[in-house]
Amino acid sequence: MKLLEYQAKDVLTSLGISVPPGMVARTPDEAAAAASKLGPVAVKAQVPVGGRGKAGGIKLARTPEEARRAAEQIIGMDIKGFKVPLVYCEAALDIEREIYLGFAVDRDARANILMLSAKGGMDIELVAEESPESIARLYPNPWRGPLDFELTQLVYDAGLGELARPIGALIKKLYRAIPDYDALTAEINPLVVTKSGEVVAGDAKVEIDDNAAWRRKDLEQRYGALIEGDPYEVEAKKRGLTYVSLDGDIGIIGNGAGLCMSTLDLVQRAGGRAANFCDIGGGAKAEVVENALAVILMNPRVKGVLINVFGGITRGDEVAKGVVTARDNLKMKLPLVVRLSGTREEEGREILRRSGIEPGVNAWEAAQKIVELSSPLVGRSGPKGREGAA
């Protein structure tokens, strides 16, 4: 779960890190009210993606009237697929210098990496490309966290020796985001040193591990509902399904993430595009299949559904029964192609045939078939053969 900036700052505050005074505004009036309280403010779009500044999602406002106008422009704006639900109005800072500070998971090292750089305010990946030597790195021991001497070294390595004390103390606080919140990312960029010498978090990014939701239920309650993501993904999550929204017109159900991904690839190869996919996982029961199909069909762009199930634990007859029941219960009229393989596949295929659903022979043929059947409904010319595929 990627937190919005104001939520991430709430987390930082709970860890004892200073953030500028700020207020959330859901309407232009609220933004104006915030500016009359806080003085000059930055009006910032709250979306769980980067690059909002470039997209016009951050505006400076000197007066309440300017804040109102900025909020009018920003609320409801689309930034990388996210409709901005609200803005955060934050008191403008008197900036002396900007620093980068962040924790992230380094997949190659299988460890948390702590990065500190005097080049703050820029995209750290860009800094890493252009001047990797300007980023000081530390892999703290995950059982005890960073030690004082390690942090002293880090701060000097980053060329920030004169700030060793305040930054060292701040890093220790930020590190608590890992054990206390199951954070995968905890980034402050820029970390601002003000003209009066205070160290304040200018922006904040915190991502919390979804796998840890069972021990962070309070966070889900506090922050989860406020992020307005894809409505179908929200619904799927409520039903306990692994679901991903995409932008095509064919719905895909499969078991296993790898199989789902390769099915999307096959559909595209056949000339179609997936609208979404739902991973029903291992041991999928009839009601899970029905649930998955219901969620897939919620998206009105879906003009055909391909079900691709290879059974390890998943039983073919269970899946087939689920598919038939789901289709009937949902009164589904759209083209449906089912490819079943694995445990009790013959029984499964027989159930499908008896119910008027033709089972696909293999995944590639099934992909071509669903593209062919759905093409008239979306005005596509038809499926590409193997030769025609890119």
Partner 1 sequence: MSILIDATTTVIVQGITGREGGFHTEQMQSIGTKVVAGTSPGKGGTTHLGVPVFNTVADAVKATGATASGIFVPAPFAADAIMEAAAAGITLIVCITEGIPIQDMIRVKSFLRDYPAARLLGANCPGLITPGEAKIGIIPQRITRPGSIGLVSRSGTLTYEVGSALSAAGMGQSTIVGIGGDPVLGLTFRDVLELFEKDEATKQVVIIGEIGGSDEEHAAELLARGSRLKAVAFISGRTAPEGKRMGHAGAIISGNRGTAKSKEEAFRKAGIPVAETTDDIVGLLR
Site residues for partner 1 per CB under 8 A: 49, 105, 107-108, 110-112, 125, 141-143, 178-179, 182, 184, 209-212, 214-215, 242, 244, 246-247, 254-262, 264-266, 268-269, 273-274, 277, 279, 282, 310-313, 341-343, 362-364, 389
Residue 360 phi/psi, 5-degree rounding, is -75, 150
d(CA 333, CA 144): 58
Residue 34 Cα distances to 21, 86, 90, 163, angstroms: 10, 13, 8, 33
CB of 268 to partner 1, least distance (A): 4
CB of 239 to partner 1, least distance (A): 16
Sort strands 336-341 and 305-310 into parallel, antiparallel or unpaired.
parallel
Catalytic residue list contains 175: no
Catalytic residue among 6, 88, 100, 175: 100
d(CA 369, CA 382): 10
Catalytic residue among 5, 66, 90, 187: 187
Comparison of 60 and 257: residue with beta carbon closer to partner 1: 257
Q: Which residues contact 135 (CB under 8 A, 6 or more apart)?
A: 100, 115, 116, 117, 119, 124, 127, 128, 158
Tokens of 293: 């199909």
317 membership: H or E segment, kind and range:
helix 316-329
- What letter represents residue 135's amino acid? I
CB of 238 to partner 1, least distance (A): 17
Asked if omega into 190 is within 30° of 0 (cis), the reply is yes
Comparison of 23 and 244: residue with beta carbon closer to partner 1: 244
d(CA 350, CA 348): 5
Taking the CB of residue 192, how many other CB atoms lie within 10 A of it? 23
CB of 263 to partner 1, least distance (A): 9
CB of 182 to partner 1, least distance (A): 6
- Angle, helices 164-175 vs 148-157, to 10°: value is 120
227 contacts 251 by C-beta, under 8 angstroms? no
Catalytic residue list contains 223: no
CB of 144 to partner 1, least distance (A): 10
Comparison of 56 and 312: residue with beta carbon closer to partner 1: 312
Comparison of 143 and 149: residue with beta carbon closer to partner 1: 143
Catalytically annotated residues: 100, 187
